[in-house]
Amino acid sequence: MYKRVLVGLVLVSLVLASCTATQTPTATTAPTDAATTAPATTEAPTAAAKPFAGVTLHMLDSAEGQTDAMIALENKCMDETGVTMNVEVVSPDDVRTKLQTALSAKSAAYDIVGIDIIDLAKYGAAGWVEPLDSYIDEATKSDILPFALEGISYNGQILGLPWKSEFMVFVYNKQMLSDAGIANPPATWEELVADSIILKEKGIVDYPVAMTWGAGYEQITSDYTMIAKSMGAELFDQDGKPVFNTGAGVEALQLMNDMVNKDKIVDPAALTLKGGGARRDLLLGGQAAFVFLWGNPLVYMNDPANSNLAGQFALAMAPSGGAGPISLAGPMGMSISAFSANKEATWAFLKCIAGPSGEKELFLKDGSPFGYTSVLNDPEVQAKLADFGGDVTAKQAENLAVRPSLPYYSDWSSALQDTVQKVLTGQAEAQQAMDDLAARTIQMQAEYAQ
Amino acid sequence: MKASVRKSRFSSRQKFGLLLIAPSFIIILGLMLYPLLYSLGISFFNLHITAPWLGTTFVGLKNYLSVITDPDMHSALEHTLILAAVGIGLGIPISLLFAIILNRKFPLRGLVRGILIIPWVIPGSVQGLLWSRIFDPHYGALNGILIQWGIITDPVAWLLDPTRALLFIAFASLWGAVPMMSLLYLSGLQSIPEELFDASRVDGASFWGYIRYIVIPLLLPITLINLVLRTIDAFTMFDLVYVLTGGGPAGATQVTGYYLYQAAFTKLNYGYASALAWLIAITVTLLAIFYSRFTLKEETAS
């Protein structure tokens, strides 16, 4: 009896094994793993016309990144270069963790690597990505917008091509301002506070400025950096020593605190909220008049399908704190993994999707931000930009700051977020809290020292 | 020449049995024991994968010392102990009360027992989302009800005040845990013979006397289980904190489970996170031993 069962088990195993063998992935099928795979795979290009026919490349992305426009661009670039691109799609929270785990193991699992500016120094210091200085020509290099170039440069080397180089824009409700008798949107932080107080006093809105400063939310670091830079602060000196605990660095935190606790123009509930959607929705619901949002938010906000207040929203330059109307850029880069076995093919594909033509195509199709001067000056792009408050967007693009590029950025940003929350909940004074953060930053520098 | 025949230690039936359990045995070894031992191993190394330039070096007990001396960890431990204390201090009497009520006969008792279990079967992350809708400062149900009833005039950001945020997390956690604790007590109550209740009445004991001198002592083993489960829940709490507060405001709801998640999956500092995980496991084990001894002593005394 047992022998019969055993023979049966062996037979079942053999059948299963043979099924598995017939399902071994080929170059044109999706990679397995727990993740799903986009995009559509076109037929293999003919080897004669395609320089990298037969080469299969891999990259990691979230479903949000794999828009219809992106998939179409990937298909076009596959057709042009001959490579087959397999995109492993995972949840947005997993992209960074999975990528860094693979790179730390020196794995060739992914050929194309996306880098956010906040991780740039870490990737550079770790040697995880291929410096592109020997690949990129001077014309392309000089075409890159300055803030986008900052998002891909580390220690004098270029580590990637610009990718979705977005920045925050300042949105206001022009109807509310008009109802309050305010002729122009605020041009300085003082005016923002003064206008907000008028809006409050006239009963138009209780908390005019919408912010989301929930615990552990990167937007805290973004907003602090933007305010500090607009006030002329440097967060670190030339030698990398923290100086955010002096002058405008502390004043910026004090302003954040005053907006919540003294002037009461930011809802204290902001300290429990996260997400750009949450603060955008406060304007859409008529609960706030001013907000900073990433990308091109007017496309959504002025769509009547999304709000009864559609058409009331407009863009203005970010308020100045004395150093100009500075907003914050969050440029990203697309790079070649240092461990890729197909660097030339990856570069060809990279140029196609992250070069000026690829970025222009994505902008025209789904409004994705771009990082090239030639794209910015393109007539088609200019026409489309006009629909999004383009002149302001174009001017804002010339007045941007970025967050510091630090090998220990995650720890530092997390500590800054905690510091801001402590001050805004009344548990610490701005100066003392920033002094403590500076001391912790020096400890981090020692821990991470190469 | 007669060939020597080695007699197997196992019969063919036993061999077949071993063969059948082999897959699950291999899976348990591969998915539980190996990672457990591996995490113990890396807890002695500086394995910070986002800082590869630091190298992977043997650091002995440094990660354990870092955890023990970390002020943020002290704060997380304090909040965890508060959660455990609230979970035990309120959870045990409430669930015992529910169990006593549900053990008595009344119309639709079966339905009420079924309804009681609903919070427990809702996954923790979904519970977190439900509570986030209830506590939302702008559109939350709690604010809506209180404003409608005239108790408050303006919406309140319930999770803004550090102390209140922690208590709300404790309350939300209790809501999900009480059903299971009650069911455990109910199963214990059902194993107490009716004759004891009758005998106590004949002896003139009041209902409270019956609870105090018969039910509570006989339910001590169940109480031990509830103590251990609530403590483990507090030390491993992640989902409610992740969804509701992210550990804020200003670290006021940071607990050991969420702190561990951040060390391992946000900062990717696996050496430190492994040491922290082992210290949490050791702490919970020690507390379980303490509870066990304490309840055994009480049981003997009673």
Answer whether residue A43 shows pLDDT above 80: no
State the DSSP code for B48: B
In the numeric block, which tokens belong to residue A369? 């931000």
Specify the 3-state DSSP secondary structure of B25.
helix
Of A104, A408, A411, the CB nearest to B52: A104
Residues A191, A142: contact at Cβ < 8 Å?
A: no
Same domain? For A139 and A188 the reply is: no
Same domain? For A243 and A155 the reply is: no
Residues A274, A214: contact at Cβ < 8 Å?
A: yes
**pLDDT confidence of A23, banded at 50, 70, 90?**
very low
CB distance from B19 to chain A under 8 Å? yes
| Cα separation, A447 vs A351, whole angstroms | 37
Of A122, A217, A287, the CB nearest to B246: A217
Q: Do B246 and A216 touch (CB under 8 A)?
A: yes
Structural domain containing residue B127: 62-301
The pLDDT value given to residue B49? 80
The pLDDT value given to residue A274? 86
Note whether residue B17 is domain-resident: no
CATH number for the domain harbouring residue A194 = 3.40.190.10
Of A6, A104, A272, the CB nearest to B157: A272
Q: Do A272 and B249 touch (CB under 8 A)?
A: yes
Q: Stretch B81-86: mean pLDDT, rounded?
A: 94
Interface test with A, best of B11, B15, B50, B57 (most A CBs within 10 A): B50
CB distance from B55 to chain A under 8 Å? no
Chain B residue nearest residue A410, CA to CA: B267
Q: Stretch B111-125: mean pLDDT, rounded?
A: 89
| Cα separation, A277 vs A294, whole angstroms | 10
Note whether residue B7 is domain-resident: no
Specify the 3-state DSSP secondary structure of A328.
strand
Note whether residue B153 is domain-resident: yes
Note whether residue B38 is domain-resident: no
Same domain? For A215 and A284 the reply is: yes
**pLDDT confidence of B302, banded at 50, 70, 90?**
low
The pLDDT value given to residue A223? 97
Q: Do A269 and B16 touch (CB under 8 A)?
A: no
Conformation bin of residue B204: beta by default, left when phi > 0, alpha when psi is -120 to 50: left
CB distance from B159 to chain A under 8 Å? yes
> What is the pLDDT of chain B when averaged over all its residues?
89
pLDDT per position as a tens digit, A276-287:
888 999 999 999
CATH number for the domain harbouring residue B274 = 1.10.3720.10
Note whether residue A22 is domain-resident: no
Pairs of CB atoms within 8 A across A/B: 99
Note whether residue B34 is domain-resident: no
Conformation bin of residue B112: beta by default, left when phi > 0, alpha when psi is -120 to 50: alpha
Same domain? For A297 and A375 the reply is: no
Q: Do B159 and A272 touch (CB under 8 A)?
A: yes
The pLDDT value given to residue B193? 87
**pLDDT confidence of A425, banded at 50, 70, 90?**
very high
The pLDDT value given to residue A27? 34
The pLDDT value given to residue A30? 34
Answer whether residue B284 shows pLDDT above 70: yes
CB distance from A6 to chain B under 8 Å? yes
pLDDT per position as a tens digit, A190-224:
999 999 999 999 999 999 999 999 998 899 999 99
Strands in A174-235 per DSSP E: 209-210
Answer whether residue A323 shows pLDDT above 60: yes
Structural domain containing residue A244: 167-329+406-447
Same domain? For A184 and A321 the reply is: yes
Same domain? For A148 and A187 the reply is: no
CB distance from B111 to chain A under 8 Å? no
Q: What percent of chain B has pLDDT over 70?
A: 96
Note whether residue B55 is domain-resident: no
- The whole-angstrom distance between A92's CA and the closest CA on chain B is 13
Q: Is the ipTM of this complex over 0.90?
A: no
The pLDDT value given to residue A28? 33
pLDDT per position as a tens digit, B219-256:
988 999 899 899 999 999 999 999 999 898 888 999 99
In the numeric block, which tokens belong to residue A301? 């906000």
Phi and psi, residue A88, nearest 5°: -90, 120
Note whether residue A27 is domain-resident: no
Answer whether residue A19 shows pLDDT above 60: no
The pLDDT value given to residue A20? 39
Note whether residue A12 is domain-resident: no
CB distance from B27 to chain A under 8 Å? no
